[in-house]
Amino acid sequence: MSTTEDFLDFIAASPSSYHAAENVAARLEKAGFTRQDETTEWDATPGGHVMIRVGAVMAWFVPEGADENSGFRIIGSHTDSPGLAVKPSPDFDSAGWQQVGVEIYGGALLHTWFDRELAVAGQVVTKDGTQHLVNTGPLLRLPSLAIHLYRQDEFKPDRQQHMQPVLSVGDPDASVLGVIGKQLGIDPDDIAAFNLITADAARGAVFGSGERFIAAGRMDNLSSVYASLVALEKAAEDYQGNDVLVMAAFDHEEVGSSSRFGAGGPILVDVLTRTGRALGANEEQRHQMFARSSCVSADAAHSVHPNYAEKHDPHHHPIIGKGPVTKINGNQRYASNAQTVALWENACNRAGVPVQRFVGKNVVPCGSTIGPITATRLGIDTVDVGVPMLSMHSAREMVGERDQLWLADAIEAYLKG
């Protein structure tokens, strides 16, 4: 199987952050990593370890020579993507139709969610406390209004009235929780709570003439999660250094990272602190370990758009097919600085990977990432990078096949040092 097909399989199997975290952990366990239970003594013996906290996954590889004099080489990403989150009481009727109540999660490009078959996926918790993962497959659709009934130049759906997908028609008993209960083999009345989101049910595809492109949902930011996973797998096979290699894939980046398993929460601090302590580091030595550490924050980057080139800085035009992008912002929307840019681009050079740089146009707002949050919380030098992308936050985004492969190669080179 090609790496691209493996990537598309990973996306298809990861319709929610909960699925992505579990898929990363399962794959690393298959590669020899052991699962860490947070309620038990921390394991920092030589080898790989992995932990899930709800929708986030943390993995760390401890080499034979690691001790309190080591540092951490961290690759950060996030498992969540924009979508339509299912409301607590989701089922309702309107004009003979059965619909599902949703709220908009993150900065979704609303018009792209129309006229697609949508799966409902995520975590369900039953009254006995058991946690279940669910993926309904194609279930919902958000139908557009016909042009004959909507003669306006610009489509501006109301975020409440027009964003509620249809489930069925003429069937008052239809229920999204009923569908989920049937799939899980449980009574819907036994469902205590859930965290569910919609996902484009269509599989990703490869297309293009000459340069090959990948189109798929959730590549912001499964493109980085997958590249980090592949890089860690390969680096762990023959790593010769003394630093601990860490993969940190957080949840809730698209809504600000402020949660127990987001980058603004304690999860990465917990992993690094407990690992350092297990390696024999006291508090002072732990601070020294942090000072020897670095972090690559990997998140999707903007490719110049041929139809909107004026939205980009005229002297910085990263483009699909020319390699991963180093993201720089003087107002600290990205955490990159001169030292970390050099660190990252040296790793790219060692891997034979071309590099590009993104700087926002002064009159166009700039997004942000987990990078500044991680750097601020931990005081660890951080650089922001990612594959160039078009249609960011669409239900179906677009990247270059070579860029995706190159990102994994560059991250591997960074981890190996």
**Two structure tokens written together for 135:** 């993926």
Q: Is 257 left (phi over 0), alpha (psi -120 to 50) or beta?
A: left
Place 304 in a pLDDT band, splitting at 50, 70 and 90: very high
* pLDDT reported for residue 1: 76
Q: Is the pLDDT of residue 90 over 80?
A: yes
Cα–Cα nearest to 61, from 179, 234, 300, 227 = 234
Q: Of all helices (H) and strands (E), which one includes residue 367?
A: none
Work out the percent of the chain whose per-residue pLDDT is above 70: 100
- Are 337 and 217 a contacting pair, CB within 8 Å? no
Tell me the one-letter amino acid at 113. W
The whole-number pLDDT of residue 247 equals 98
Architecture, CATH, for domain 83-200:
Roll (2.30)
pLDDT of 83 over the 90 cut: yes
The per-residue pLDDT for range 45-77, each reduced to its tens digit, is 999 999 999 999 999 999 999 999 999 999 999
- Distant-in-sequence, close-in-space partners of 298: CB < 8 Å, separation ≥ 6: 75, 76, 77, 221, 224, 227, 228, 385, 386, 407, 411
Sheet holding 56-62, edge to edge: 34-35, 47-53, 56-62, 244-250, 72-78, 294-298, 381-386, 325-327, 356-358
* pLDDT tens, residue by residue, 228-259: 999 999 999 999 999 999 999 999 999 999 99
Residue 311 to residues 156, 250, 314, 327, 374, Cα–Cα distance (Å):
21, 29, 9, 16, 28
Q: How confident is the model at residue 216 (pLDDT cuts 50, 70, 90)?
A: very high
Q: In the predicted model, what is the mean pLDDT of the chain?
A: 96
pLDDT at 156: 86
What's the farthest any 2 CA atoms get from each other in the chain?
A: 71
Order of strands, edge to edge, in the sheet holding 397-400?
205-207, 213-216, 397-400, 388-390, 301-302
pLDDT > 90 fraction of the chain, expressed in percent and rounded: 96
Kindly state the tokens that stand for 406: 């190159």
- Express each pLDDT in 149-202 by its tens digit: 887 777 889 999 999 999 999 999 999 999 999 999 999 999 999 999 999 999
* CA 213 – CA 3 distance, rounded (Å): 14
pLDDT of amino acid 317:
95
* Cβ atoms of residues 17 and 225 within 8 Å: no
Tell me the domain boundaries of the chain. Answer: 3-81+217-416, 83-200
Instruction: Name the CA dihedral angle for 20, 245, 7, 181, rounded to a multiple of 10 degrees.
Output: -10
Give the global pTM: 0.97
Strand, helix or coil at 384? strand
pLDDT category, 399, cuts 50, 70, 90? very high
| 3-state helix vs strand vs coil in the chain, percent to 5 | 30, 30, 40
Residue 102 CA to residue 85 CA, distance in Å, equals 5
The whole-number average pLDDT for the span 88-117 is 97
- The band of 339, judged by pLDDT with boundaries at 50, 70 and 90, is very high
Assigned fold of 3-81+217-416: Aminopeptidase (3.40.630)
